[in-house]
Amino acid sequence: MTTMSASVEDSPLYVAALARGISLLGAFTERRPAMTLPELAEATGLTKSAVQRFAHTLWVLGYLRKHPQTKKFSLAPRSLELGMQYTQTSALVLGGNPFLHSLNRSTQETCSLAEPEGREMVYVARFATHMQMFVNMPVGTRLPIYSTAAGRAVLSRLDHDRVHELLSSSERRAHTNMSITDLDALMNEVQFARDHGYARSNCEIYPGDITISAPVVDPVGTPVGAVNVSVPASRWSFEEAQAVFGPQVVETAHAISASNTIGITPPFYETGY
Strand runs (DSSP E) across 61-193, as ranges?
64-66, 73-75, 110-117, 120-127, 142-144
Residue 100 near residue 227 (C-beta atoms within 8 A): yes
CATH code for the domain in which residue 77 is found: 1.10.10.10
Q: Is 131 helix (H, G, I), strand (E, B) or coil?
A: coil
In angstroms and rounded to an integer, the radius of gyration of the C-alpha atoms of the chain is 20
Rounded CA gap, 108 and 63, in Å?
37
Amino acid identity at 5: S
Same domain for 228 and 158:
yes
Count of CB atoms situated within 10 Å of the CB of 264: 10
Tell which of 81, 103, 123 closes a domain: 81
Q: What percent of the chain has pLDDT over 70?
A: 93
Average pLDDT, the chain: 91
Give tens-digit pLDDT for 171-208.
999 999 999 999 999 999 999 999 999 999 999 999 99
Task: Name which of 121, 138, 139 is nearest 215 in CA terms.
Answer: 121
Q: Is 94 helix (H, G, I), strand (E, B) or coil?
A: helix
165: number of CA atoms within 13 Å, CB side? Answer: 7
Confidence of residue 94 (pLDDT cuts 50, 70, 90): very high
The structural domain count of the chain equals 2
Same domain for 103 and 32:
no
Strand runs (DSSP E) across the chain, as ranges?
34-35, 64-66, 73-75, 110-117, 120-127, 142-144, 199-202, 209-217, 223-232
Confidence of residue 83 (pLDDT cuts 50, 70, 90): confident
Give tens-digit pLDDT for 14-43.
899 999 999 999 999 889 999 999 999 999
Mean per-residue pLDDT, 59-82: 94
Rounded CA gap, 224 and 115, in Å?
6
Same domain for 142 and 38:
no
Same domain for 245 and 173:
yes
Q: Is residue 1 part of a domain?
A: no
Confidence of residue 265 (pLDDT cuts 50, 70, 90): confident
Whether the pLDDT of residue 8 is over 70: the answer is no
Whether the pLDDT of residue 272 is over 60: the answer is no
215: number of CA atoms within 13 Å, CB side? Answer: 24
Same domain for 139 and 30:
no
Tell which of 81, 111, 128 closes a domain: 81
Same domain for 222 and 96:
yes
Same domain for 65 and 39:
yes
Same domain for 143 and 100:
yes
**What does DSSP say about strands 34-35 and 73-75: parallel, antiparallel, or unpaired?**
antiparallel
Q: What's residue 1's pLDDT?
A: 40
Tell which of 55, 81, 107 closes a domain: 81
Helix and strand totals (H; E) in the chain:
10, 9
Q: Whole domain around residue 71: which residue ranges?
A: 6-81
Q: What's residue 5's pLDDT?
A: 53
Give tens-digit pLDDT for 220-245.
999 999 999 999 999 999 999 999 99
